[in-house]
Amino acid sequence: MNGLMMQQPLLVASLLTHAERHHAEREIVSRRVEGDLHRYRFADLAARSRRLANALATLGIRPGERVATIAWNGYRHVELNFAVSGSGAVLHTINPRLHIDQLAYIVEHADDRAIFFDITFLPIVEALQARLATPRLFVAMYDAEHMPAGHDTLLCYERLIDSHDDRYDWPSLDENTAASLCYTSGTTGHPKGVLYSHRSTVLHSYAGALPDAFNCSARDAILPVVPMFHVNAWGLPFIACMVGAKLVLPGPALDGKSLYELIEAEQVTMSAGVPTIWQGLLAQVAGRRNAFSSMKRTVVGGAPCPTAMAAQFQQQHGVEVLHAWGMTELSPLGTVCSFKPHQLALPEEARYAIQAKQGRAVFGIDMKIVDPDGQPLPWDGEAVGELLVRGHWVARAYFGDTASQPLRDGWFPTGDMARIDRDGFMQITDRSKDVIKSGGEWISSIDIENIACLHPGVASATCIGVRHPKWDERPLLLVTRTPGSTLGKDELLAFLDGKLARWWKPDDVIFLESFPLGATGKVLKNKLREQYGAHYAGAAAPRS
């Protein structure tokens, strides 16, 4: 027997109509590629999104077809989000930092009918146009006066907006309709497309706004530094609409100085981004205390948050750090490290040890860790296994790829190694492909990196497993020094003594100027493994 409640679909457009109806005057402030600050209101966002939906119809975009963006975080990008998904087509956000080969592959694979781009990316667009077998519509997200000369085939975004009416009724779609598409930046093999639905997007927004997740209310001013081409800026533009928060969009200016000025000028209360971004921001306010007059908290995800970074935010500036974990396949939110009440009473050091973990699952995500045979491991804070998840916003398959069956018994294998403690706090110990297998045991490269980073002479650290004649693999530590540091191998290895199990201690240290980085800013460990894979080839066994 079914309940007798209204059957309304969970739709992306309903986030926009809610924001327009209840928060019409709330601002959206965007740093534009033109350099200036643009500001308008949710009422304007809604009206222009409807104009754009009419424009998409004129361009011949049909339900289910893909419309791509190569763009920074800005109001036009948000309009595209609602106009494309809301009208039943699929918004495909492309990471412009990918190699041109991957970009061309992705556009062909997604079969994007149109590509909207910020003028910054004109060189990429030109390269793409030269590569693509089928001609596609290219729309510059720009006004008519500034359109680049000599590109007659380009359409102009503002001209499309101006020439269409703002009356448009968002269709009542099935909530399982595809809404958006994001490709993983796989370091091996082709990128894979994750196809989000309207339902998964709305449920993800509910969960993401909860007090123990991003904790978003109408009193917030949210700055998503994380790009919309990284899993829809972790859902924050949707959440801002759901709760009526002011939205501050940084455009291309992601350096510490620009971010700091924007945060202060727009009285941002919460932000979200990857650790490398926060390094730049913290460097900008180095030596100061309480440099942020309005910012209350920041979400750190995409890579583990170093304890030193959390301490800088919290102790020097009173900005709470929310360590979080997610993946493209998770829309992306999986866990957030927000304290349980008994943890609040712990000594500072113990609290920082908790904040080094990625946290506990938000409601809607279920997780487990398993041994190599797939057997569940205990949540005791010790056992390390592969992390598997399932939930309302987890991918079950990849777009246009019926061959790969990613799930195992209904669970999605994340490719991360993790432990989970009794309180349900999960900590990533490694990517499963990065874990170091030494003498039949696992060594966590991330644990070693975190400890090495505690040395003041270490700017960043990467640990890889390197083939070893006796132990299969042994850890090799690669380090960049802080400016002026003369740190040497012996001093660093001595520093590690007593901080980790003796057999976890790297056999050698190599100092580098910088690490090879991928399109999402992560260190490319596979490149390092290629380069240093024979480093221990001639080594004697370290233990008899």
Binding positions for a second copy, 241-270, rule CB under 8 A: 242-244, 246
Closer residue to a second copy, CB minimum distance, 348 or 366: 366
When asked if residue 10 is in the footprint of a second copy (CB under 8 A), the reply is yes
Examine residue 369 and tell whether it contacts a second copy (CB under 8 A): no
Catalytic residue among 69, 93, 177, 184: 184
CB 469 within 8 A of CB 479: no
Does residue 11 touch a second copy according to CB under 8 A?
A: no
Residues 525, 463: Cα–Cα separation, whole Å: 8
Min CB(88)–a second copy separation in Å? 9
234 touches a second copy (CB under 8 A)? no
Q: Is 442 a catalytic residue?
A: yes
Q: Does 403 bind a second copy (CB under 8 A)?
A: no
List the end-to-end C-alpha distance of the chain, in Å, as a whole number: 69
* Residue 169 DSSP symbol: P
Instruction: Pick from 185, 197, 328, 460 the residue near a second copy by CB under 8 A.
Output: 197
Exactly one of 437, 441, 482, 491 is catalytic; name it: 437
Candidates 73, 184, 215, 450; binder of a second copy (CB under 8 A) is 215
Q: Are the CB atoms for 278 and 313 separated by under 8 Å?
A: yes
The one-letter code for the residue type at 397 is: A
Residue 358 and residue 426 in contact, taking contact as beta carbons nearer than 8 Å: yes
Quick check: is 184 catalytic?
yes
Sheet containing strand 297-300, edge to edge, reads 37-41, 27-31, 246-249, 221-224, 270-273, 297-300, 320-326, 333-336, 360-361
Q: Which of 209, 281, 305, 452 binds a second copy (CB under 8 A)?
A: 209
* Closest distance to a second copy from the beta carbon of 226 (Å): 21
Interacting residues with a second copy between 492 and 531 (CB under 8 A)? none
Among 16, 83, 84, 90, binds a second copy (CB under 8 A): 90
SS (H, E, C) 120-159: HHHHHHHHHHHHCCCCCEEEECCCHHHCCCCCCCCEEHHH
Helix or strand run (H / E) with residue 79: helix 75-86
Contact between 394 and a second copy by CB under 8 A: the answer reads yes
Applying CB under 8 A, among 162, 366, 371, 382 the residue interacting with a second copy is 366
Say whether 329 is catalytic: yes
Site for a second copy in 411-440 (CB under 8 A): 412, 422-424
Residue 297 has phi, psi (to 5 degrees) of -155, 160
Q: How far, in Å, are 64, 129, 223, 281 from residue 319 at the CA level?
A: 42, 45, 14, 13
Tokens of 476: 């090799």
Residues 34-63 that bind a second copy (CB under 8 A): 63
DSSP label at 66?
Answer: E
Instruction: Select from 67-75, 97-105, 154-162, 175-183 the region that touches a second copy (CB under 8 A).
Output: 175-183
State how beta strands 66-70 and 90-93 pair. Answer: parallel
191 binds a second copy (CB under 8 A): no
Segment lying near a second copy (by CB under 8 A), choices 74-82, 163-171, 336-344, 528-536: 336-344
Tell me which of 20, 175, 329, 386 is the catalytic residue. 329
Residues 287-316 that bind a second copy (CB under 8 A): none
Binding residues for a second copy, how many (CB under 8 A)? 72
Q: Can you name the residues that pair with 478 across neighbouring β-strands?
A: 462, 510
29 vs 247: CA distance, rounded Å = 6
For a second copy, the binding residue among 56, 194, 310, 418 (CB under 8 A) is 194
* Among 296, 368, 442, 522, the one annotated catalytic: 442
> Rule CB under 8 A: is residue 381 a binding residue for a second copy?
no
* Catalytic residue flag (residue 513): no
CA 364 to chain centre: 19
Return the active site residues: 184, 329, 437, 442
